[in-house]
Amino acid sequence: MNAATPVRTVCPYCAVGCHLDLLVENGRVAGLEYAVDSPVNGGRLCAKGHAALEMLNHPDRLQHPLQRSATGWVPVSWDRALDTAAERIGKILAAHGPDALAFLSTAKGSNEENYLVQKLARVLGTHNVDHCARLCHASTLTGLAPMLGMGAATNPLSDLGRSDCLFFVGSNLAENHPVAFRWVQEAKDRGARILVADPRRTPTAWIADLHLPLKPGTDLALLAAMLHVIFQEGLCDDAFIAQRTRGVEALRASVKDTDPFWAARLTGVPARDIVRAARLYAKAPRASLIYCMGVTQHVLGTETVRACADLALVTGNVGREGSGLFPVRGQDNVQGACDMGALSGLLPGYRPVSDPNARIFFERAWGLPAGTLGAVPGLTVTEMEQAAGDRVRGLIAIGENPVVTSPDSRKTQENLKRLDFLLVVDLFITETAELAHLVLPAAAWAEKSGSRTNTDRRVQWSPKAVHPPGEARPDWKILTDLAHRLGLGSFFPYTCPEDVLEEIRRVVPAYGGMSPRRLATAAEGIAWPCPEENHPGTPVLHEHRFATEDGLARLYPVVFREVPELPDADFPYCLTTGRVTLHYNSGAMTRRSPSLGSRSPYLFVEIHPEDAAREGIRHGERVRVVTRRGTMEARAHVTGSIGPGVVFAPFHFPETNALTQNVLDPAAKIPEFKTAACRLEKMRGTGP
Amino acid sequence: MNAFLYVDFLRCTACFACETACRTAHGSGSRIHLAFADGLPVPLMCRQCENSPCAAVCPEQALAWDTTHGVVLLDERCTRCGLCAMACPFGVLSVHPLECPNVVKCDLCRDRRAEGKRPACVLTCPTEAITDEAQRPLTRRRLTGMVPSVLASPFSQNLSGSKARRQRNEAFREKDPR
């Protein structure tokens, strides 16, 4: 054991960014040690963090490039694989032009890698680059950016511990960001009030002073009613509204009729509780609003995000320590991937492609001829998959598994099969990789170095601890090599991730002060914006002015609409999807982990006892869940923690998204994952 | 530290970190079991009973209690007969010859403690639901349960008694709607 050297890496799972000390012995990870002195997690780790090591030496890990042949997968050399990829991409470019190509970037990659994916796409001449933020927090960007000037969390997560009232809307922090929940518990110990609006009584709701079990898709009605109460009872912070915001009259008028009794009919939450929640939130000296997928993954995602921000703004709970707006991100680098412009409509640093100055800036910075970058945004994740095999002929998916994660997944799968070329770069043969023409083996988090940005905009450097298995390579290396084969070598002169970070510093002002050396030595990372080398970083945003042109926040009026697919006679229940603590997104990593898989091995659906009795379903029995798009089989969990009429299924299993609907929020293009009308059918036998 | 682990059920969020930490620390099955009662989690592990039924029933005297280490298993004496697992009133001892050579029982991370480290589940628990220092949770319980809640309120930090109470009451005064 004496030979083991600890290497401090950043956990590859959620966006809290916990430190994980790997014990490296003879070039292999021998174990982990708790980073007790870490200012981020103080040694704490969740179940997934512990299981992260199982990913490094997993027998299913891809070790060689694999090419599809008539008889199955054939291992090929890297040279041959990259030549094939370049040739197939070249053919598509020649025949159909650059917009026939699409790139799925990854929130599991470093900032440097995301920067390279979008640069490769844009140097080739297309804005068809997007990543899974489209499926989680796209509505945060479209919702918050015009209001506050930035679509990011306003405060560090540790500020949750300093709040006097925490209002969770559609966020199950206890299960999905367990380590961050320590600050919530800390606040609770100090006497803070906890409010949770969620259709399910989740572990987050267990410690709540007030749980508002609303019907899925009615968050906006609840928020509108709370705004109504706040205006009606004069609980708003008039000085803050007058000095720092614009548009209060339109907002006030829009919530004039949205009283708690109206909302009670829509949400199913008693009017009395809505009034209580509004008073508790508005009267607390420092209140925080935490929201997540329950707010964003709706057709009304953008509007609901804006209502959350309205609530924080009219009560003056933005721009101070301990009171803020927390859109909690799900993946370790989803914030960074957005910052790096791996989005179809935004260049690095959130500069819209429609802005001619931004286009000229990047054409100059990258040495491209004027006019290379188009003014029209590219295709988003769901649009790419809809156009696959049609307008899109080639798709490069890096660390993404759309067959599991995209709505109406059967359709997605059919479309992907019609592509001329599907290149997948991943750790495992995922459900998407099974359809690919070429699969390239990637390096996992501890096998490469790079910077990653957590949910509170904290940029942390995670160094390489061990070599990847077999011939697997880091994404930045694969992308650079591919660019060289495509004849774009002069745009990709990188020899290490640090070179890429230096370029990012030049083109993204918020990252300007983050030199590789400074990041490597900063114990808890640096929060952007950090424009200069001697700038300390900005943990709390909007302290004196908002990032809008005139420095004032915009308040947006609230208009409620019903969800697109309401339960009816044929499909009487509302299916909602979400996460469970032992699994992670598409499950590619966690379903393969022995310690997590053994505790949560199968797909289940939560059903209220009344509904179960009506359908004759008992706990543990197999049921079939049917929507207009598909069918899945799962085991029934009969539980009172979910409201009557609602059925919950985790989305970590390939079956779930065959049921969800591909109806998009018009601004954010985020699908309606959270509601779908379904029916339940009892099955014979108890199954596995 | 105490020779037992203190569990505050109300703080547990069922994140399963303790189970995976235990598995990682011991390289085999978890010694902590997250049981659920009425849908709410109860982390169970060896209670290190002073008058321990497992030690009393062991035919080889392989289990013994002492004040500093709790119930200690003497590996070399154990024959894996499984009587202790049957006797345990909490059901937290088990024998899985294929998975683990010895009785699967919380040893308070004996190896880690020998290196001066705290038990893995204690370190990892995000909400301090499991702790080896009973003093902290007991103090916390006393504050929230027995002392009037105003003294534990965040608004009282810089204020003294009556003023704090008045401000807090103003902040949270609730009327029935309409």
How far apart are the C-alpha atoms of A481 and A495, rounded to whole Å?
10
Q: Is residue B177 part of a domain?
A: no
- If we measure between CA atoms, which residue out of A126, A134, A120, A128 comes closest to residue A671? A134
- CB-side exposure of A549: number of CA atoms within 13 Å? 1
Ranges A103-117, A238-252, A589-603: which has the least confidence: A589-603
| A146 closest CA partner among A285, A290, A306 | A306
**DSSP-assigned beta bridge partners for residue A578:** A650
Same domain, B146 and B125: no
CATH number, position B89:
3.30.70.20
Q: Kindly provide the b/e burial profile for residues A147-178, where b requires at least 16 CB atoms within 10 angstroms of the residue's own CB.
A: bbbbbbbbbbbbbbbbbbbbbbbbbbbbbbbb
**Contact assignment for B16 to A581 by CB distance below 8 Å:** yes
* Joined tokens for residue B121: 């589940």
Confidence of residue A278 (pLDDT cuts 50, 70, 90): very high
Same domain as B15, residue B97: yes
Nearest CA to CA, how far is A35 from chain B (Å)? Answer: 10
Q: Which two tokens stand for residue A116?
A: 């390279």
Q: A50, B153: Cβ pair inside 8 Å?
A: no
pLDDT over 70 (residue A260)? yes
User: Taking 80 as the threshold, does the pLDDT of residue A177 lie above it?
Assistant: yes
Cβ A301 vs Cβ A665: under 8 Å: yes
Confirm or reject contact between A226 and chain B (CB < 8 A): no
Q: Do B14 and B83 reside in the same domain of the chain?
A: yes
CB contact under 8 A, B154 and A192: yes
Residue B87, min C-alpha distance to chain A (Å):
26
Handedness of CA A296, A302, A304, A308 (dihedral sign): positive
Domains and CATH numbers, chain A: 77-135+335-445+471-491 (3.40.50.740), 141-327 (3.40.228.10), 573-682 (2.40.40.20)
For A426-459, write each residue's pLDDT tens digit.
Answer: 999 999 999 999 999 999 999 999 999 999 999 9
Q: Considering the domain boundaries, does residue B176 fall inside one?
A: no
Reply yes or no on whether the pLDDT at B163 is more than 60.
no
Domain membership of residue B161 as a residue range: 139-171
In this predicted structure, the answer to whether residue B90 has a pLDDT above a threshold of 80 is yes
Q: What's the rounded mean pLDDT across residues A675-685?
A: 88
Measure the CA–CA gap between A550 and A540, rounded to whole angstroms: 19
A residues 38..97 contacting B (CB < 8 A): 43-47, 49-51, 53
Which of A29, A40, A45, A637 best probes binding to B when mutated, by most B CB atoms within 10 angstroms? Answer: A45
Question: Is there a single domain that holds both residue B27 and residue B109?
Answer: yes
Q: Are B121 and B148 in the same domain?
A: no
186-215 in chain A: CB under 8 A from chain B: 187, 189-193, 203-204, 206-207
Give the model's confidence band at A499: pLDDT under 50 very low, under 70 low, under 90 confident, else very high.
Answer: very high
Q: Are residues B109 and B151 in the same domain?
A: no
Task: Output the pLDDT for position A280.
Answer: 95
pLDDT in tens, B105-155: 899 998 888 888 899 999 999 999 999 887 777 777 666 654 444 444 444
Residue that has been written with the tokens 């509007």 in this structure: A303
Residues of A in contact with B171 (CB under 8 A): 283-285
Residue B48 lies in a domain: yes
Q: What per-residue confidence (pLDDT) applies to A652?
A: 92
For position B177, what pLDDT does the model report? Answer: 38
* Record: contact A272-B177, CB cut-off 8 A: yes
> What's residue A621's pLDDT?
92
Judgement on whether residues B72 and B51 belong to the same structural domain of the protein: yes
In this complex, do A260 and B177 lie within 8 Å of one another by their Cβ atoms? Answer: yes
pLDDT at A319: 87
β-partners of residue B147 are none
- Cross-chain residue pair B177–A203, CB shorter than 8 Å: no
pLDDT per position as a tens digit, A595-648: 888 888 899 999 999 999 999 999 999 999 999 999 999 999 999 999 999 999
Strand A72-75 and strand A66-69: the pairing is: antiparallel
Closest-CA residue of B relative to A283 is B171
Under 8 Å CB pairs connecting chains A and B tally to: 111
Looking at this predicted complex, what is its ipTM? Answer: 0.88
Predicted confidence (pLDDT) per residue in A356-378, tens digit: 999 999 999 999 999 899 999 99
CB contact A174 to B (< 8 Å): yes
Structural domains of chain B, count: 2
Mutate to test the interface with B, among A41, A50, A159 (most CBs of B within 10 A): A50
Six token digits for residue A6: 């600890």
Quote the CA–CA distance of A121 and A129 in Å, as a whole number.
6
B154 touches chain A (CB under 8 A): yes
Residues B31 and B79 in one domain: yes
- Asked whether the beta carbons of residue A190 and residue B125 sit closer than 8 angstroms, the reply is no
Residue B114 lies in a domain: yes
Whether residue A220 contacts residue A304, with contact meaning beta carbons closer than 8 Å, is answered with yes
Same domain, B29 and B81: yes
Q: Are residues B83 and B149 in the same domain?
A: no
Cβ-Cβ contacts under 8 Å, A582 against chain B: 16
HSE toward the beta carbon, residue A361, CA cutoff 13 A: 15
The whole-angstrom distance between B50's CA and the closest CA on chain A is: 30
For residue range A531-540, list pLDDT tens digits in order: 999 999 999 9
Map tokens 């319980």 to a residue. Answer: B141
Please indicate whether residue A397 or residue B168 has the higher confidence score (pLDDT): A397
A182 contacts B13? CB cut-off 8 A? no
B108 within some domain: yes
Mutation site for A-interface testing, chosen from B124, B125, B131, B149 by largest number of A Cβ within 10 Å: B124
Q: Which residues of A touch B128 (CB under 8 A)?
A: 182, 185
- In a shared domain, residues B84 and B22: yes
Can the peptide bond before residue A529 be classed as cis, meaning omega within 30 degrees of 0?
A: yes
Whole-number pLDDT of residue B144: 62
Q: Assess A321–B contact: CB distance below 8 Å, yes or no.
A: no
A204-250 pLDDT, tens digit per residue, is: 999 999 999 999 999 999 999 999 999 999 999 999 999 999 999 99
Residue B13: its chain A contacts at CB < 8 A?
174-175, 178, 181, 203-204, 206-207
Looking at residue A685, what is its pLDDT? 58
| Rounded Cα–Cα distance for residues A461 and A254 (Å) | 45
- Kindly state whether residue B53 falls inside one of the protein's structural domains: yes
Percent of chain B with pLDDT over 90: 33
Of A246 and B39, the one with more pLDDT: A246
> Is the confidence at residue B53, as pLDDT, over 90?
yes
**For range A142-149, the mean pLDDT:** 92
Same domain, B128 and B59: yes
Assigned domain for B105 exists: yes
> In chain B, which ranges are E strands?
6-7, 33-37, 40-44, 63-66, 70-73, 94-95, 103-104, 130-131
pLDDT of residue A3: 66
DSSP code string of B105-161: ---SSHHHHHTT---HHHHH-TT--EES-THHHHHHHIIIIIS-GGGGSGGGTTS-H
Report pLDDT digits (tens) over A6-19.
Answer: 999 999 999 999 99
Answer whether residue B57 is part of any domain: yes
